[in-house]
Amino acid sequence: MLSDLICATATPSGRAAVALVRLSGRGAVSVALRVLHWIPEREPEPRRAYLAVFHEADGTPFDRGLVTFYLAPASYTGEDLVEFACHGGLLTSSQLLAALTALGARPALPGEFTRRAVTHGKIDLIQAEAIGDLVDATTRAQGRAAIRQLHGGLSRRLADLRETLIDLLALLAYDIDFPEEDDGPVDRTALGAAIGRTTAAIDGLLETASLGERVRRGALVVIAGRPNAGKSSLFNALLGIERALVTEIEGTTRDTIEADLDLDGYAVRLADTAGLRSSEDRIERLGIEVSRRYLGAADLILLCVEGGADLTDEEQSLAARSNTLRVNTKVDLCSLPSPGVSALTGAGLGDLKRLLVDRLYGDVELLGDTTPLLTRERHQQGLAAALAALRDAAPEAGQGGDAVLAAHHVRRAVTALDELLGRVDVEEVFGRIFERFCVGK
Amino acid sequence: MIVIGGGHAGTEAAALSARSGAKTLLLTQNLETIGQMSCNPAIGGIAKGTVVREVDALGGVMGRATDRAMIQFRMLNRSKGPAVWSPRAQCDRGLYRRAVRTELEALPNVQFRQGTVARLRLRGDRVAGVVTTDGREFAARAVVLTAGTFLRGRIFIGVDTVIPGGRAGESPVEEIAQDIDALGLTRERFKTGTPPRIDGRTVDLGRLQRQDGDSEPYWFSHFAEPVHPAQLPCYLTHTSDALREIVAAHVRESAMYGGAIGGRGPRYCPSIEDKIVRFPTASRHQIFLEPEGLETREMYVNGLSTSLPVDVQLRLLRAVVGMERAEMTRPGYAIEYDYFQPTQLDRTLSVRQVKGLYFAGQINGTTGYEEAAGQGVVAGLNAAAWALERAPIVFDRSMSYIGVLVDDLVTRGVDEPYRLFTSRSEFRLLLRQDSALRRMAPTAITMGLYGPAEKSRATGRLEAEQEVMNLASATTIRPDQANDLLGRAGETSILTPMRVAELAKRPNVDLADLLANAGVPRDYDTTRWAAIEIRYAGYLDRERGMAARLAEMEAFPIPAGTRYETFLALSTEAREKLTKVQPATLGQAARIPGVSPNDLHGIVLELQRAGPPMHRST
């Protein structure tokens, strides 16, 4: 299980106490030993850290650090792998890489270590994506979703779906290839029901797609309202910093401002928009156009309404949208039903934050650890393709349908899942038949 | 060219070799058993029937012989889509044997000799001929070995009776088996079984469910329509509780369950012991009584394959409904025999390390007359091509079940006796029994396998079918011509004239009827191909798209003798499998279990690094 030797720094470049350099592939151990000038009295023990001096190709020592050896297949990549912890900064890690390449290693391509882990079956493609997500995660919820995906939540669910479809293929193959058996023809109603259950399960997963995408990329929350409704104040209050300019002059915010917010562990992209009104000012009009586009893309709209004011037509139509939350602002000036906030005093802010989390991510909490989330467009497309194929299969699998065509469509569905996961094998289909039916004269 | 063996693989190999123009010798232990059906007296069935059609379309004998010997015909799966309609015929064993001999004797290039081959003669790494046990020598540039179940065959009845034999009453072959061992091939053991035969006069047929064949006549062959023999019924009955108890009580006395046999048997041809042990809750199993022939009342007890002792077999038979007074004419038995892992062959069924040596049939780990015949065709054509110094021919998976069969064997190998199913093909809709001639004729014509009359008959047929297709696209049908038909089919009527081809897409509306109503009647049989192509058009397009993608992979050659151990990017498993199978193309490599898309990527990179892909020399 050894491929050619690659090396790369695993930690970001720049000043730091420690930099981690990894070396993986055929000859990793012997190349490492040469850099360390290790006289092999005895082989290094795997998974044990050794303090050693690192040498350049000409033999000059340049650093001292910890080295850990992993032997295939018990390593991240599934190959022989060596980890060097050298001192941080630009110099030492590049000296180390130079020493390694001088001995035959080549610089790794982006993601190549993880790619090798997939190649060697340490993880599947979906888990590899989760590693990327985990590295990119900035909030606890993102981290949690990534970890769940990495631990195989989604992979297992897709594998289960695929299993069901292989069972279906086996039944259809039995129907076609074994027409004169003891057990008689396959019950078409049961076939139809099995397809129904699978489509429902895929539907269920697809429903999590927007949520999963939301967790991974952060929910877009757009603050809207008429000029001077206190939008920018709310924006700043939620962020906890003076990010947007706040004046008493209507139309101060002309362009939309975005900022990232960690709300109780969930990622939120918060956008402050120009106040909605008809304006003669060309720049302000452009700003309002931008606001409207943001409103179209928003996961949630916070409609700011100053202390009990009547709603304009546009505000009313906004308030009627299912993803709009009306927020009464400047409650320090009057008393009003919640949710109401005062950016000035901070009253109601905590409640509003909790409400936001609930509205945006309540379903995630409800799903808990039982349903994996689809976090990528790729997952969604693969499952949508499988779903479409199964919808085509349903009438053909039922009474009076053509089993050959049903099998054709189910196979399409399996292929779609395979693109997410693995490969179909015809022997698998026969295996199922022989487990279940007494076939053969 | 020499063919060793006169079974279903050997006879097709001889026929196709002779048609290729090679001087062909069929050498067999007993000339009387050429074309012998060792097990059930039937040809065809699911996927198998399509193979018979393909073999026939290439010039083989199986279809023609079946047409002369059939005593009952049924189109299986008629209730399912036409893509999987599967012709099957019960045959008179004697008529079948004689018909095969007659068909072979009609080919001037075939000679016959009776004799048992003891040794291959080799010159370097090439075949030079064979030597028989009685010392006769025959020189040849190519040899096809179709030993069936005869290599070290052992017949088992119960745990105490072991008879060396290749079939009941026939000797096994030992010497040639040793000779092949010396070539260093991997040899393994399989087992298969056959049920007892009974005297039909002792069965109460009146109590059984009579099964008649189809009333429509059918001919497997594309080239002749001889008058079929008289037709006979089969009978359906079933096992009883008593039978189950007998099997359960005596299962340890069975050769299979008593530990006498180690070889693996086919899951889809289970013995009655298997059925009872594996499905103890099934209340009963079907038994089909099939006539052995027109001039005998002996019957084949399909469904009761067994290796129990003879006395237990008789008690079993008498525990079948309607067979309480049955007399057993021949006991059933299990047979264990040598086969060679077919991954040691290339796609022409040639043994990789010996040039000019080909294996076909059960020696490759398959089961079934039709699977044997399909391999016989491939081996015969390629052995003749080798002998005549012509280019080899490879059958593509997307073009025929013969291609699926050979590719599965040489790519995946076998771990139980291999049988074809439609589910083994990813092109089930393309590989239909009605399209066999269209798929095979171009190859047959290019290779010169047809005589002049056959060629004109084949091309005439294909042109007539194509003419129907063109006619369907070009002809419009008026509402007053179509609506009656549509109404009867439960379809909505049309308001304006429409193309016949458009209306023929609707289920339950037949193309032949539409053409007749539109004033251009055509013979029903000739319209079948176009009718199915029109009905399945979208699906066929998708399968053709898949076939085209496969063709791209198949067009990427992997040089013979590629040293995978130097390919660092491959997984260990892939490296081992690739070394064993030696795939000829990237497509074949992709089908090897354990070779992942990543491995394929690695192969491409390594081969490109090594330089432009070489053209494979053969």
Length of chain B, in residues:
618
Q: What does the pLDDT read at residue B615? A: 42
Two structure tokens written together for B154: 């052992």
- With respect to residue A137, please indicate whether it lies within any of the assigned structural domains: no
Domain check: are A291 and A387 in the same one?
Answer: no
Q: What does the pLDDT read at residue A426? A: 46
Query: Per residue in B41-81, pLDDT tens?
Result: 999 999 999 999 999 999 999 999 999 999 999 999 998 88
Domain check: are A191 and A255 in the same one?
Answer: no
Q: Chain A closest CA to B54's CA: distance in Å?
A: 19
Q: What is the CATH number of the domain that holds A42?
A: 3.30.1360.120
Q: Do A425 and B593 touch (CB under 8 A)?
A: yes
Q: What does the pLDDT read at residue B154? A: 94
- If you average pLDDT over residues A264-282, what whole number do you get? 84
Contact A375, A361 (CB under 8 A): no
Whether the pLDDT of residue B417 is over 70: the answer is yes
Domain check: are A232 and A350 in the same one?
Answer: yes
Residues 32-61 of A with CB under 8 A from B: none
Please name the residue ranges forming H helices in B340-417.
369-387, 401-412
Which carries the bigger pLDDT value, residue A206 or residue B128? B128
Residue with tokens 């069972």: A167
- Write out chain B residues lying below 8 Å of A440, CB-based: 266-270
Query: Per residue in B534-550, pLDDT tens?
Result: 999 999 999 998 888 88
Query: Per residue in A54-101, pLDDT tens?
Result: 999 899 999 999 999 999 889 998 889 999 999 988 889 999 999 999
Q: Chain A closest CA to B480's CA: distance in Å?
A: 29
Helices B48-57 and B401-412: angle between axes, nearest 10 degrees = 110
- With respect to residue A323, please indicate whether it lies within any of the assigned structural domains: yes
Q: Do A177 and B47 touch (CB under 8 A)?
A: yes
Q: What is the CATH number of the domain that holds A202?
A: 1.20.120.430
Q: Chain B closest CA to A183's CA: distance in Å?
A: 9
- Write out chain A residues lying below 8 Å of B412, CB-based: 427
- With respect to residue A339, please indicate whether it lies within any of the assigned structural domains: yes
Whether the pLDDT of residue A358 is over 50: the answer is yes
Q: Taking the model in full, what pTM does it have?
A: 0.82
Domain check: are A235 and A362 in the same one?
Answer: yes
Sign, CA torsion B526/B528/B531/B532: negative
Domain check: are A363 and A379 in the same one?
Answer: no
Domain check: are A245 and A323 in the same one?
Answer: yes
Please name the residue ranges forming H helices in B414-451.
436-446
Whether the pLDDT of residue B478 is over 60: the answer is yes
Whether the pLDDT of residue A424 is over 60: the answer is no
Domain check: are A113 and A183 in the same one?
Answer: no
Supply the range of the domain harboring residue A173: 160-213+374-436
- With respect to residue A143, please indicate whether it lies within any of the assigned structural domains: no
**Structural domains present in chain B:** 2-191+338-443 (3.50.50.60), 197-335 (2.40.30.260), 455-541 (1.10.10.1800), 555-609 (1.10.150.570)
Q: Give the residue from B7, B367, B40 showing the smallest Cα distance to B196.
A: B40
- If you average pLDDT over residues A397-420, what whole number do you get? 88
Let me know the angle formed at the C-alpha of B386 by B381 and B387, rounded to the nearest 5 degrees.
100
Q: Do A441 and B269 touch (CB under 8 A)?
A: yes
Q: What does the pLDDT read at residue A264? A: 82
Domain check: are A381 and A422 in the same one?
Answer: yes
- Specify the range with the lowest mean pLDDT, choosing from B332-341, B470-479, B554-563: B554-563
Which carries the bigger pLDDT value, residue A42 or residue A436? A42
Domain check: are A175 and A222 in the same one?
Answer: no
- If you average pLDDT over residues B474-479, what whole number do you get? 96
Q: What does the pLDDT read at residue B471? A: 96
Question: What is the pLDDT confidence band of residue A154, given thresholds at 50, 70 and 90?
Answer: confident
Two structure tokens written together for A194: 């099995």
- With respect to residue A139, please indicate whether it lies within any of the assigned structural domains: no
- If you average pLDDT over residues B469-490, what whole number do you get? 94
- With respect to residue A287, please indicate whether it lies within any of the assigned structural domains: yes
- With respect to residue A152, please indicate whether it lies within any of the assigned structural domains: no
Query: Per residue in B580-598, pLDDT tens?
Result: 999 999 889 988 888 876 7
Number of neighbours of residue A216 by Cβ within 10 angstroms: 21
Q: Which of B79, B211, B268, B595 to mutate to test binding with chain A, by most A CBs within 10 Å of its CB?
A: B268
Which carries the bigger pLDDT value, residue B555 or residue B494? B494
Q: Give the residue from B559, B550, B551 showing the smallest Cα distance to B613.
A: B559
Contact A426, B424 (CB under 8 A): yes
Instruction: Pick A173's closest partner by Cβ from B81, B279, B423.
Output: B423
Which of A367, A386, A416 represents a domain boundary (last residue)? A367
Domain check: are A329 and A350 in the same one?
Answer: yes
Across chain B, mean pLDDT equals: 93
Q: Total domain count for chain A?
A: 3
Domain check: are A284 and A328 in the same one?
Answer: yes
Domain check: are A224 and A363 in the same one?
Answer: yes
| % of chain B exceeding 70 in pLDDT | 98
Whether the pLDDT of residue A43 is over 90: the answer is no
- With respect to residue A135, please indicate whether it lies within any of the assigned structural domains: no
Q: What does the pLDDT read at residue A381? A: 84
Whether the pLDDT of residue A294 is over 60: the answer is yes
The 3-state DSSP class for residue B65 equals helix
